[in-house]
Amino acid sequence: MRAVPRPLLAGNWKMHFTVPEGLRHALRLREDLEPYAAVIDLVVLPPAVMLWEVANALRGSPVAVGAQNAGWADEGPFTGEISPRMLAGWCEYLLIGHSERRQLFRETDEELNRKLGAAFRHDLKVILAVGETLEEYEAGRTAEVITRQVNAALYGVDPAGASVLSVAYEPVWAIGTGKAATPDYANRTMGLIRELLGKHFGERAQEMRILYGGSVTPANARSLMSEPEIDGALVGGASLKAPDFTQIAQHTAEVALSRQR
């Protein structure tokens, strides 16, 4: 039986809040989430325009800050982009590969591989999102899609990256729909992800965190977090409501404590 790592709970704010609204939300979360920080790792992913302000507001607190996306170059003629080098030093986490980036902005597996390498160069803790669309799910292609996405993203990656990489399984058909994957289905798919990580990172894959994302709510968080392959959650809509995100943190912490007994 593998040693279960500290759960990671990440709140992806997507394109929500003005800067003043985001600051108020961050300060509320700073207070509400503190009781659970001894048991789980916590991170918020605000829009880029407020990253600096939110990072300052949360400085010295147990809630870390991450970016929702970054480019693959340190600098250059890339209008509108933000580089991992710019984020390093005050932004601890970086999310890449979210299905909205893949689907709406046509990001490719090759681009994500380059982004992963750039993030590792600057010691960012990466959350790599993977997941199948509804069409792929209904066609029974989940394993094929997940295998392609994971292997392509990790191609040529330094095995030392295992210490700062988490993978988030997000079935696209569950994101924002209110229809989460069943705990058993999510657990089985995340078991596949761990097998794939094992081919790249060996035994270290057992210690890596695999998160579930896709309509995580206070109502289903406990059942999802209780599954053996699930090491936390990437939360979208519920992270915009402080009471909901705090309740998810509470359920996650309670499951983590029960595993320690």
Q: What is the largest CA-CA distance in the chain?
A: 54
Write the CA distances from 85 to 12, 15, 110, 165, integer angstroms. Answer: 21, 22, 20, 17
In this structure, what token pair is assigned to residue 86? Answer: 């710019």
3-class secondary structure, 12: strand
Amino acid letter for position 128: L
Q: Can you give the length of the chain in residues? A: 261
**Residue 122 is a catalytic residue:** no
Give the contacts of 3 (CB within 8 A, at least 6 positions apart). Answer: 206, 207
Select which of 100, 111, 170, 229 is catalytic.
170
In this structure, what token pair is assigned to residue 33? Answer: 């989430």
Q: Which of 104, 107, 45, 83 is nearest to 234 (CA)?
A: 45
CB 51 within 8 A of CB 93: no
Long-range contacts of 73-77 (CB under 8 A, 24+ apart): 73/118, 74/118, 74/121
Give the contacts of 95 (CB within 8 A, at least 6 positions apart). Answer: 10, 12, 45, 66, 67, 68, 69, 126, 127, 129, 168, 234
CB 153 within 8 A of CB 97: yes
**Residue 251 is a catalytic residue:** no
Select which of 25, 98, 200, 251 is catalytic.
98
Catalytic residues: 98, 170
